[in-house]
A and B are shown apart, each in its own frame.
Chain A
Amino acid sequence: MEKEVKLMKGNEAIAEAVIRAGADGYFGYPITPQSEVIEYLMAEQPWERTGMVVLQAESEVAAINMVYGGAACGKRVMTSSSSPGISLKQEGLTYIAGAELPCLVMNCVRGGPGLGTIQPAQSDYFQTTKGGGHGDYRLIVLAPASVQEMSDFAELGFDLAFKYRNPVMILTDGIIGQMMEKVELKPQKARKTQEEIIKECPWATVGKPTTRERNIITSLDLVAANQEKFNIKLQAKYKEIQEKEVRYEAIKCDDADYILVAYGCSARLCMKAIDLLRANGIKVGLIRPITLFPFPSKILFELANRVKGFLAVELSAGQMVEDVELAVKNKVIVKHFGRMGGMIPSPEEIVEALEQKIIGGK
């Protein structure tokens, strides 16, 4: 079969990929720089193609609770927003995590705090990987660095969400969302039939047959001992995710003296910086985390035995750098470089930061 290749924006690519992944519903509320997701879905009318529901909710809070409801029924459902809107969704997210339901959420991060700017940023790393909402829960976090990955991670996100009954966040930014690149589209997958959902999701609220007790979806248990037991179960799940689902890309690390660590758009900037540095004889590699939770700590720990230093490059005041420091365990120097508020560093600025903070640093 001939490959289906298109030129698409990151936001359009994920919207198309969600339809093709056999999603049952998308619920959202527009916000720059990711409004193309709902615009594309409304124009594409997937309810005609697959029966998928697309609904503009009255608010972000309503949208995430529609996702909660859809997920409780075993449906493949998604919402997306940008930073301020994602903050509004945090209550819903912790409830979904607490009820152990699968869903897909995308955050196309913009400069903050508050309403901030509409330009790209990566300053929601703490919110996304360490909690965001209340309670001891984790999201599985995927960080695409190209339009192709925006497309590919829709299906991967749903697969992981259902495998672990856990919300999955695609953490992206205004650069990846707004730029157009070549994307190879996957073939259309059929939506799950009700029979398949009943079989594959025995926990879902699909109507009670006489053969079993009713299924209850809740995150409330007022008996503390029970709630602790549930928390222990959740932590065991997160540990399993950390053991099995780490994904990263290593670029030019084999002979590297120094390692840049960057995800999403920053990884792309770093790839250019590496070319510039290597042209000057400085051997630099890149570890690009693809999953931010689980974080690729092991490879960083191993590299720390033979490289001279790490520079975490992120569009924030320094958030992921804390996970790099935890992984490297003080074996060698770890520093951060980044811009904030929607400003984007040039590859040359990254070169300069590595030279000053790591090569010339103490």
Chain B
Amino acid sequence: MTEEIIIAGFGGQGVLSMGKILAYSGLMQGQEVTWMPSYGPEMRGGTSNVTVIVSDERISSPILTQYDTVIILNQQSMDKFESTVKPGGILIYDPNGITHHPTRKDISIYKVDAAVAASEMGNQKIFNMIVLGGYLKVKPIVKMENVIKGLKKSIPERNHKLLPLNEQAITKGMEIIEKI
């Protein structure tokens, strides 16, 4: 099994940390993982993306042009990355702020209303965990117990009191994701 993913959105949406938690979850179940951020002279409010690869085998290139799964969290990323989903692959997006919805017919498209759900749950910071939950519902590449272990490794110990909230957010994402 090799899963090649890109997560793309605004800086500050938790794109990089969502990728890190996914990578750590893969590591916790003994898989090979690579986490490659886009880096450059970037600034707050700009776009941010991260490539995550989880595999049973040695991982080759961290730089890719096509992905098994593309997770899109703003319009700029939709414009840039809709075309990079492999035929037969998966596109997951949050419709909040999206004006041009995806149109491809050769891929599976899922919608996760994570921004709305996060504000209903009273905490915008768990937005990325709702998205992660949605992804794991569609592609359960890592077991929930390993996601929790991955969360524990990624979040500083002083914030471990927030683990249950993060877990609830993942469950919420699993509930609200829907196929289009």
Interface residues of chain A, those whose CB is within 8 Å of chain B, are 5, 7, 33, 118-119, 174-175, 178-182, 265, 268-269, 271-273, 275, 344, 346-348
Contact = CB atoms under 8 A, between A and B. Distances in A.
Given A7-B153, A272-B64, A346-B65, 7 more contacts: A5-B27, A7-B23, A7-B33, A182-B33, A268-B62, A269-B60, A271-B60
A178 B65 contact: no
A339 to B, nearest CB: 11
Interface stretch (B6-14, B35-43, B90-98, B167-175): B35-43
A348 B59 CA distance: 17
Q: Taking each of A175, A269, A272, A344, which has the highest tally of chain B beta carbons within 10 Å of its own beta carbon? A: A272
A347 B65 CA distance: 8
Given A179-B62, A180-B23, A118 B41 contact: yes
B27 A175 contact: no
A108 to B, nearest CB: 12
B124 to A, nearest CB: 25
Interface in B136-166: 153
8 smallest A-B Cβ distances: which pairs?
Answer: A271-B60, A272-B61, A180-B35, A272-B60, A179-B36, A346-B65, A269-B61, A268-B61
Contacts of A273: 61
21 contacts: A5-B27, A7-B33, A7-B153, A33-B39, A175-B63, A178-B37, A178-B39, A179-B35, A179-B36, A180-B20, A180-B36, A181-B33, A181-B34, A268-B59, A268-B60, A268-B61, A269-B61, A271-B61, A346-B65, A347-B64, A348-B65
Interface in B1-57: 20, 23-24, 27, 32-37, 39-41
Contacts of B64: 272, 346-347
Contacts of B32: 181-182
Given A175-B36, A178-B36, A182-B32, A7 B65 contact: no
Given A269-B61, A269-B63, A275-B60, A7 B24 contact: yes
Nearest to B63: A344
Contacts of A271: 60-61
Contacts of A268: 59-63
Contacts of B24: 7
Q: Taking each of A7, A182, A265, A275, which has the highest tally of chain B beta carbons within 10 Å of its own beta carbon? A: A7
Nearest to A273: B61
Contacts of B59: 181, 268
B2 to A, nearest CB: 10
B55 to A, nearest CB: 11
A119 B65 CA distance: 18
A245 B63 CA distance: 31
Interface string B46-87: 000000000000011111110000000000000000000000
A344 B36 CA distance: 13
A354 to B, nearest CB: 15
A175 B23 CA distance: 17
Contacts of B65: 346-348
A133 B37 CA distance: 34
A354 B82 CA distance: 28
B34 A118 contact: no
A220 B20 CA distance: 51
B24 to A, nearest CB: 5
Given A7-B23, A271-B60, A272-B61, A119 B34 contact: no
A347 B61 contact: yes
B20 A7 contact: yes
A348 B32 CA distance: 23
B60 A7 contact: no
Contacts of B153: 7
B34 A346 contact: no
Contacts of A181: 32-35, 59
A180 B34 contact: yes
Contacts of B35: 7, 179-181
B48 to A, nearest CB: 13
Contacts of B27: 5, 7, 182
A150 B27 CA distance: 18
B87 to A, nearest CB: 15
Contacts of B37: 178-179
Nearest to B66: A348
Given A7-B20, A175-B63, A269-B63, A119 B36 contact: no
A346 B39 contact: no
B34 A179 contact: yes
A273 B59 CA distance: 12
Contacts of B39: 33, 118-119, 174, 178
A180 B23 CA distance: 9
Nearest to B61: A272
Nearest to B150: A7
Nearest to A176: B62
Contacts of A265: 62-63
